[in-house]
Structure 1
Amino acid sequence: MRSLTVVGPSRVEWREAPSPELQEDTDVLVRPIASATCDLDRRLVLGDSPFKPPYALGHEAVGEVVATGDAPCGLRPGDRVVIPWHISCGTCAECGRSMPGACRSVHRLASYGNTAGGHWGGLFDELVRVPWGARNLVALPPDVDPVVAAFCSDSLVDAYRTVSPPLAAQPGATVLVVGGTASLGLLTVLSAVALAATEVFYVDRNPRSVQTAARLGATAMLITSYSEPVSGVFDLTVDASADTEGLRRALKSTRPGGTCVSRSVYFTEPALPYLDLYASGVTLVTGPPHATPHMPEVLRLLSSGALDPRPVLAGPYSYDEAPEVLRDPPPGKPAFAHPRAGAA
């Protein structure tokens, strides 16, 4: 089969790889029909990560079930499903706490599209093995576009869950999103607006992202540096900058007793303004998104139209175009579709 493979800095290409097979009774084989890239994938292609190539790329996709193991799973060939980024058993203590991204049955951060927790292939591959498929795969509603639903594997659920618990605890809270990544900050704005935050502010050094955030309903401001002060303090701040100075800006802009959620991935140890945190009692939240438990909720919002991430979408492109697109990605969130994606 073909596998989209990172082979070096700014080098990504289709390579031949062995097709996966059913190994356990609980396995499910899935053929991706729509795949998306998250902001982290841009860094992986550039070589800005500790992962040594070659490795398969991609951890967001919708696919069609090809085969199932002998254990009952409620899935049949042809069923369309969203594939989560993480590998998880669904039964360990952490999975039982709705934290499958911290599953104890596999290596830490076991996932598609990188080698943090072993080699599991990528979600651009022509065929993917999903362990414990019945507990991980989520059925695609028939009225939801597979290309948009692919966002639910990781980034859209990540953005939604970043703001939904704080806004549920404090309806109408004010929100600041410190952007800088290509799409996660914008998806967070989209989610906060959908959840009726009182005010949503967005700051970024990218003029195009600032314009998009304004169209999505935020009060958006172009900055030249994260050290620039932001007027006011906010109940909830979100670091989606992938810049340690952006994280500091988010923390320093949080109201005393408020919450700062960092959804950036750092491969170094960022210095924190500890005395500021101590003085203000800010709660800092971080960690990977736990996709499967929250996918049905986000898919319902997509189906109803309450969430519409298409303004952040780039493409869809064909799978054949993936190497060229990812070497020089456009603004937004590139997505790719197989011709089968348009025919349920």
Structure 2
Amino acid sequence: MIAMRSLTVLGPRRVEWRDLPPVSLREATDALVRPLASAVCDLDRHLVHESPLEPPYALGHEAVGEVVDVGSAVSGLQPGDRVVIPCHINCGVCAECSRSMPGACSAVPPFASYGTPAGGSWGGLFDELVRVPWAEHGLVPLPPGLDPVMAASCSDNLVDAYRAVSPALRADPDAAVLVVGGTPTFGLLTVLACTALGSTAVHYVDRDPRSVEKAAALGARATLIDSYSERIQGRYDLTVDASAHPKGLRCALTSARPGGTCVSRSVFFTEPALPYLELYSSGVTFVTGPPHITPFAPEVLRLIDSGALDPSPLIAGPYGYDDAPDVLLDPPAGKPVFTASRR
């Protein structure tokens, strides 16, 4: 039996390729997919450097792949199809999936996804081969001719950033948006999403001068801050916490106008304190939750394919898959993407 390589987290700053038995079809609704381009999520950096979850486990939850094999009950996919592999595992038919909330699918444990052990062992999207359960519900076709490198982050970050702002900007294209940055790329992806939706009133704040410079280049009004203050001055209809910092979350919450909305996509491994009385008095709506990729990825893919949404300014690489451990230990600015012929 030929071994399959899997990029594996072994502990803080310990990540390496390991040989594992190859995956195979288990159910008639499964598909096997070979990743063609794998992207590094901001969370992946944290998992590699801090290792807050119990190792070892396969890393990676953003990739575009090629279908290799399908189960007997799969009729809408065939070998050779190129697909986005959403980060979450979902059945597509339960009550939550039917409400366009596949990240909360009731057929699998909470947090079931590729690249972490939190909701079971599903492998990672750097693996040479990935088993996708409920494949017809769990894979999103790539538009013909679209470069997999451009779409790799549609498994999570790019669609999640788009969903953070699209409801508010669809309802009111002139809504004033504040993005509280701090993560390597999610806040900047949010700026890209705002631009793709035609927003001209985006304010980006961050403690990192390189991110502030990049946000300005992407079309935002960008401000370098020394720390996350209680409130950013202005009247913001929508604020987005992209800081992954408790004080950044508080800043985003308190900066929303009365009756406004704050969306947080930060992942916290401890419980952040919330300024409840201040939120109560202002009536701010707080929105959080896991990414729900499958229903909304097609819309984002169409925007990329049309040129309205261009993630290339934030892509680093592409690098070869063999370089992944070294790149993850000393990541560049931007979102690293890996692609190459496999061994």
TM-score range, shorter chain: over 0.9
Aligned residue number for residue 146 of structure 1: 148
Provide closer, same or farther for how the CA distance between residues 229 and 257 of structure 1 changes in structure 2, counting only shifts above 3 A.
closer
Aligned residue number for residue 321 of structure 1: 323
TM-score (norm 2): 0.97
The AA in structure 1 aligned to 2:151 is A
CA distance in 2, matches of 1:171, 1:80: 33
Is 1:44–2:47 an aligned residue pair?
yes
Residues 73, 133 of structure 1: 8 Å contact kept: no
Residues 5, 55 of structure 1: 8 Å contact kept: yes
Question: Partner of 2:286: helix, strand, or coil?
Answer: strand
CA distance in 2, matches of 1:316, 1:337: 6
- Say which of 41, 55, 58 aligns to 1:56: 58
Question: Partner of 1:325: helix, strand, or coil?
Answer: helix
CA distance in 1, matches of 2:64, 2:153: 9
Question: Partner of 1:151: helix, strand, or coil?
Answer: helix
Aligned residue number for residue 93 of structure 1: 95
Aligned residue number for residue 214 of structure 2: 212
Give the superposition deviation at 1:82: 0.6
Give structure 1 stretches of 5+ with no counterpart. Answer: none
CA distance in 2, matches of 1:307, 1:258: 26
Is 1:18–2:44 an aligned residue pair?
no
- After superposition, give the CA deviation of every residue in 1:297-327 in whole Å (9 maximum; x if it has no partner): 0000000000001111111100000000001
Give the superposition deviation at 1:109: 1.1
Give the superposition deviation at 1:74: 1.5
- After superposition, give the CA deviation of every residue in 1:172-195 in whole Å (9 maximum; x if it has no partner): 100000000000000001111221
Aligned residue number for residue 183 of structure 1: 185
Aligned residue number for residue 249 of structure 1: 251
The AA in structure 1 aligned to 2:117 is T
Give the superposition deviation at 1:273: 0.8
CA distance in 1, matches of 2:105, 2:339: 30
Is 1:157–2:150 an aligned residue pair?
no
- After superposition, give the CA deviation of every residue in 1:227-265 in whole Å (9 maximum; x if it has no partner): 264221200000000000000110111000000000100
- After superposition, give the CA deviation of every residue in 1:160-207 in whole Å (9 maximum; x if it has no partner): 000001111222100000000000000001111221224100000111
Question: Partner of 2:280: helix, strand, or coil?
Answer: helix
The AA in structure 1 aligned to 2:15 is V
Runs of 4+ displaced beyond 4 Å: none
Across the two proteins, how many residue pairs are aligned to each other? 339
The AA in structure 1 aligned to 2:61 is H
CA distance in 1, matches of 2:125, 2:137: 18
Aligned residue number for residue 71 of structure 2: 69
Residues 189, 216 of structure 1: 8 Å contact kept: yes
CA distance in 1, matches of 2:32, 2:69: 5
Question: Partner of 1:265: helix, strand, or coil?
Answer: coil
The AA in structure 2 aligned to 1:28 is A
Residues 186, 209 of structure 1: 8 Å contact kept: yes
CA distance in 2, matches of 1:80, 1:317: 20
Give the alignment's Cα RMSD to 1 decimal: 1.0
Residues 88, 103 of structure 2: 8 Å contact kept: yes
Aligned residue number for residue 32 of structure 2: 29
CA distance in 1, matches of 2:340, 2:37: 6
Residues 31, 64 of structure 1: 8 Å contact kept: yes
Residues 250, 260 of structure 1: 8 Å contact kept: yes
- After superposition, give the CA deviation of every residue in 1:106-128 in whole Å (9 maximum; x if it has no partner): 11110000011000000000000
Residues 26, 73 of structure 1: 8 Å contact kept: no
Aligned residue number for residue 233 of structure 2: 231
CA distance in 1, matches of 2:107, 2:339: 32
The AA in structure 2 aligned to 1:155 is N
Q: Percent identical across equivalent pairs?
A: 70
- After superposition, give the CA deviation of every residue in 1:89-108 in whole Å (9 maximum; x if it has no partner): 00000000000000000111
Aligned residue number for residue 287 of structure 2: 285
TM-score (norm 1): 0.97
Is 1:193–2:195 an aligned residue pair?
yes
Which stretch shifts more, 331-340 or 68-77?
A: 331-340
Residues 88, 106 of structure 1: 8 Å contact kept: yes
The AA in structure 2 aligned to 1:128 is V
